[in-house]
Amino acid sequence: MTSPVMAGSYGTIVYPGESVFIGESGLDVSAALIDGWGNPNSYISYYASGGTPGVTAPSDTVTVPDLTNFYVSPGTFTGKTGAWYVGITSNVAFYVQEASLSVSLFNNQSGKDISNLKAIQDDHIAIRINSNLDSLFARNASGGTAGIDAYVETPDGATLSALYRNSTTRDMDAVYLSAIKPDNTIFWIPYGNMATVWKLDPDNYKTGTYKVYAQCNVNDMKDNLGVVTGVTQSEIETLTVEEDYVAITATKESVIKEDDFTVTITGTPKTLYTVWLSGTNGYSNTTDCPPKFLQNQDDVSSMTQTALDALYYMSETTVGQDIPYAAGGTTNEWAVVAKTGSDGTITVGLTTDSNTKTGKYTVRAEKWLSYTQLDYEIYDTVDIKVTEEGAGPTISLNPGWNFISTPKRLQNGNNTAGKIFGDIDSGGHSALMYNASSKKWDTVKADTEVKPLEGIWIYNNDANSAEVSMKYDSNPLQTPPSEDLQSGWNAVGFSSLTPATAKDTLVDVSGKWTKAIGWDSEEQMYETAIISGGSGIYSDTRDMNPAKAYWIWMKEDGTIAALS
């Protein structure tokens, strides 16, 4: 991949002591080849190490037939760089050099060299030319205005000779990459100082890998030498542009009350993210409150209630409206601002104490844009369960309807609906079980036994998710549960603590079942059906999951046994 570079000239008149480069042609060296008596000379001499100009015999001499049209021929001057002298005198005519040329790409916000690495959309990029050609452009500007030309090749193969450094002014702020004349061996496009020349605005520059390189055809250098990597053309540097993103993970899915835990935010290096306990506005700020952020953490700053009330994370909702209220301008312990390191990550600590309410919590991280605005599109969440010490496994009930089951047989005395769901605000909705024999709904009463393989519909009227504890029966001297399924629809609970494919889960009724449909309680909608023998999104290799129940369509009666 080489773009044609039209030959142009610069500094074609060479004066004594200036530098010329192998491959240049059309040079007027008559001013440089004046002997000590003021007369033009038609030959030059070269002295190897140890020789004394004007005293010892030269190592080589070259006749210049036309002083106004000199060619720095590679056949003549390769391996003989350095000073060349007028005739056999000690007067320097010019210095011969071999060109060197490379480019480097930098993130102008972090100052980091990102050549052949990745960048994020909206990053600001600086481009540096590294060469010894500054001595060529130090010659007088005779002959023309040519310079080094840089290029950016897009993922689609188009070659750009200009870049936008501002997404708003566009053409008024385009940076042209042609005729660059470095005045130093390290030169930042366009004027020498490190500056943004390329803003990776997603409206102008799509994601993918870009190629960046520079060429020099000043005074026919590339035409004469061809494409010589590192000489007439730089190595090609790449930059892979990716969409901006943030991810948040937790060290543990469940934490025992009065223990600490951490979350790790991964995003753009040296970038601010607001992190908070989302969906906890209805909680107390004294007792039965959410986990709190630890204070005095490196690169983590607390926020006042006043600041949070002005900080929008959705178009009409502030962070302050999404967490417990802290009076006046005091620090709110349920939100912080965290700054990622040069590796794009930061770990933030949280704590629970005796006043922490047990349950499931959502920690949200969203990119900070200003004191009043977060980036609606760049966020992530992670869920954490807080449980009492010694509590058994829990089932999460999201706001609205939940279609659940116990994955294992429950302990006697802790196996009734009243014992398990008694504290749930159902908003007047009865818990229900579907009777596949009568094709009718049965109301779940307080003394109804909750069994494996049986699905239960239960409503959570709270605005937040609720956790219900389960205590499993540890007695090994009993047969695993089983359930008779009827032709038609059956509400069947998944019977393992470990996910399993639908094909494996329903192996006992293989050939008899056709569809399995789960319920997404977070979205309050049915999931895509799993089809026996299906493919793609309907494949029966999709997992069925613990604590969930499914509608199973049976072509004929059958019996299913528990997986555990």
| Position 250 pLDDT exceeds 60 | yes
3-class DSSP string for 413-437: CCCEHHHHHCCCCCCCCCCEEEECC
The model's pLDDT over 383-432, given as tens digits with 9 standing for 90+, comes to: 998 887 756 677 889 999 999 999 999 999 999 999 999 999 999 999 99
| Position 4 pLDDT exceeds 50 | no
The model's pLDDT over 196-214, given as tens digits with 9 standing for 90+, comes to: 999 999 989 999 999 999 9
pLDDT at 545 (0 to 100): 92
Over residues 42-59, mean pLDDT: 94
| Position 171 pLDDT exceeds 70 | no
pLDDT at 467 (0 to 100): 83
Q: What backbone torsions phi and psi does residue 76 show, to the nearest 5 degrees?
A: -95, -40
Q: Are 530 and 548 in contact (CB under 8 A)?
A: no
Strand order in the sheet with 92-97: 18-21, 92-97, 82-86, 43-46, 60-63
Radius of gyration of the chain (CA): 37
pLDDT at 141 (0 to 100): 82
Q: Percentage of residues in the chain with pLDDT exceeding 70? A: 97
| Position 87 pLDDT exceeds 60 | yes
The model's pLDDT over 435-449, given as tens digits with 9 standing for 90+, comes to: 999 999 999 999 999
Residue 542, token pair as written in the block: 């999709």
pLDDT at 391 (0 to 100): 60
Over residues 271-282, mean pLDDT: 95
The Cα 289–Cα 361 span in angstroms is: 11
pLDDT at 498 (0 to 100): 87
pLDDT at 77 (0 to 100): 97
- Least confident stretch, 171-175, 322-326, 376-380, 489-493: 171-175
The Cα 229–Cα 236 span in angstroms is: 9
| Position 5 pLDDT exceeds 70 | no
| Position 1 pLDDT exceeds 80 | no
| Position 3 pLDDT exceeds 50 | no
The overall average pLDDT reported for the chain is 93
Over residues 8-30, mean pLDDT: 96
| Position 240 pLDDT exceeds 90 | yes
Over residues 309-317, mean pLDDT: 94
| Position 456 pLDDT exceeds 50 | yes
The Cα 465–Cα 471 span in angstroms is: 20
The Cα 274–Cα 379 span in angstroms is: 9
pLDDT at 43 (0 to 100): 93
Q: What backbone torsions phi and psi does residue 417 show, to the nearest 5 degrees?
A: -60, -40
Concatenated DSSP letters of 26-75: SBB-TTT-B-TTS-B-SEEEE--TT--TTTSPPSEEEE-S-TTSB---HH
Q: For the chain, what percentages of helix, strand and coil (3-state, to nearest 5) are there?
A: 5, 40, 50
Burial class (CB within 10 angstroms; exposed 0-12, middle 13-18, buried 19+) of 75: exposed
Residue 2 pLDDT grade (very low, low, confident, very high; cuts 50, 70, 90): very low
Residue 471 pLDDT grade (very low, low, confident, very high; cuts 50, 70, 90): confident
pLDDT at 269 (0 to 100): 84
The model's pLDDT over 317-355, given as tens digits with 9 standing for 90+, comes to: 999 999 999 986 789 999 999 999 988 899 999 999 999
Task: Please give the single-letter amino acid code of residue 384.
Answer: I
Residue 411, token pair as written in the block: 């302990």
Over residues 372-390, mean pLDDT: 88
The Cα 551–Cα 432 span in angstroms is: 14
